[in-house]
C-alpha cells in the first residue's frame, strides 16, 4: 500500500534524498522548503504525488497551515519525518543565549510543534509513523558540540515518551541516529559560535573545530543509501525504537552504554545508601 510522507528540510542532504526515494518507491510526499521557488520546483516534477510546501520551522504560526495544505492535497499523512535541523560548533561558554535558543527553536521546538499538529489526523486514521532524525550526538556528547548535543538529547527524551504515548493509537515512533553523512551538515549549514575564546584553543573544543573543517566531503555515510533504508524500514513494518545509520553511531552508542554501565557499578553502593531505612 502506498503511503503519504511529510518530510521537513527537503532542500538538500538526507531530506532531499529521502523525498526522491519516496517518489521512486511510488509513494507520495509533502516536502517542506524555506524558499518558495524550491517548493514550486519540487511540486512541478509530479503535481499529483509531489507537493512542495513553504515552511520555516521557527515560524510556529505557519506550522498548522502547512499540515492542512498536505491534508487538503493528499487526504492523509502516513509518515512524518522530522528531518530539518542544523549543527552548531563551539564551547558552551562561547555561545550567546540567543544562539542557543535559535538552535532549539529549529531542532526541538519546531519539531515538537509539527509533531503536535500531525498527531490528530494520525490518531483519527488509527495509524502512522513518525521518524525523528536525531544523531549519534543525541546519545553521546562531545566537547565543542554541546549545544547541538543538547538539542538532540532533548529530541531523544521527547521521542522515547512519545513512542509510549501514541502506540495505543497505532502510531510508531522511530528515532533515527545517523553518523556523519556526506551532506552540507559539516559544510554550508553548520553554524559556529560568533565568539571564539582563546582559553579553549587547547581543549576538545579546538579539536571539534578542526574535525568539522576537515570532515566535509569525507564522511562515511551515503545519503541515498540511507534514504532507501528509511523507506524500506517503514514499509517493512520494523518496530525497534532506535535505528542507527552507519558504523560511527554503532561505535559511539556502544561506548556510551559501556561508560554508563561502569558508572552505575562504581556508584551502586552510594546510590543504595540513600534509601529510607526500613
Catalytic residue among 3, 148, 151, 200: 148
148: annotated active-site residue: yes
DSSP output for 39-107: HHHHHHT-TTTEEEEE--TT-GGGHHHHHHHHHHHHS---EEEE-----EES-GGGS-HHHHHHHHIII
Dihedral class, residue 140 (left if φ above 0, else alpha if ψ from -120 to 50, else beta)? beta
Distance CA 263, CA 20 (A): 44
Catalytic residue among 152, 159, 200, 209: 152
256: annotated active-site residue: no
Helix (H, G, I), strand (E, B) or coil at 221: strand
200: annotated active-site residue: no
* Residues paired with residue 131 on neighbouring β-strands, in sequence order: 81, 174
Cell of 142: 562531545
Catalytic residue among 134, 135, 151, 159: 134
* Residues paired with residue 176 on neighbouring β-strands, in sequence order: 133, 243
For 124, phi then psi, to 5°, come to -65, -35
Catalytic residues: 134, 148, 152
Amino acid at each position: 500500500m502506498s503511503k503519504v510522507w511529510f518530510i521537513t528540510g527537503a532542500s538538500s542532504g538526507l531530506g532531499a534524498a529521502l523525498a526522491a526515494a519516496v517518489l521512486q518507491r511510488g509513494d507520495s510526499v509533502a516536502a517542506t522548503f524555506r524558499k518558495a521557488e524550491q517548493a514550486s520546483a519540487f511540486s512541478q516534477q509530479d503535481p499529483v504525488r509531489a507537493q512542495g510546501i513553504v515552511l520555516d520551522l521557527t515560524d510556529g504560526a505557519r506550522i498548522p497551515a502547512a499540515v492542512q495544505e498536505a491534508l487538503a492535497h493528499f487526504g492523509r499523512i502516513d509518515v512524518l519525518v522530522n528531518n530539518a535541523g542544523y549543527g552548531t560548533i563551539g564551547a558552551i561558554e562561547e555561545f550567546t543565549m540567543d544562539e542557543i535558543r535559535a538552535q532549539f527553536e529549529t531542532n526541538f521546538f519546531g519539531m515538537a510543534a509539527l509533531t503536535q499538529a500531525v498527531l490528530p489526523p494520525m490518531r483519527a486514521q488509527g495509524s502512522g509513523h513518525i521518524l525523528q532524525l536525531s544523531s549519534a550526538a543525541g546519545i553521546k556528547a562531545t566537547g565543542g558540540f554541546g549545544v547541538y548535543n543538547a538539542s538532540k538529547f532533548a529530541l531523544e527524551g521527547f521521542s522515547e515518551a512519545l513512542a509510549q504515548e501514541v502506540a495505543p493509537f497505532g502510531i510508531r515512533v522511530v528515532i533515527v541516529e545517523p553518523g556523519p553523512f556526506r551532506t552540507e551538515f559539516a559544510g554550508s549549514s553548520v553554524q559556529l559560535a560568533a565568539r571564539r575564546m582563546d582559553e579553549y584553543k587547547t581543549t576538545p573544543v579546538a579539536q571539534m573545530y578542526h574535525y568539522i573543517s576537515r570532515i566535509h566531503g569525507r564522511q562515511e555515510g551515503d545519503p541515498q543509501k540511507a534514504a532507501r533504508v528509511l523507506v524500506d524500514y517503514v514499509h517493512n513494518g520494523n518496530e525497534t525504537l532506535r535505528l542507527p545509520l552507519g558504523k560511527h553511531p554503532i561505535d559511539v552508542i556502544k561506548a556510551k552504554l559501556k561508560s554508563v554501565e561502569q558508572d552505575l557499578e562504581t556508584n551502586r553502593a552510594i546510590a543504595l545508601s540513600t534509601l529510607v531505612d526500613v
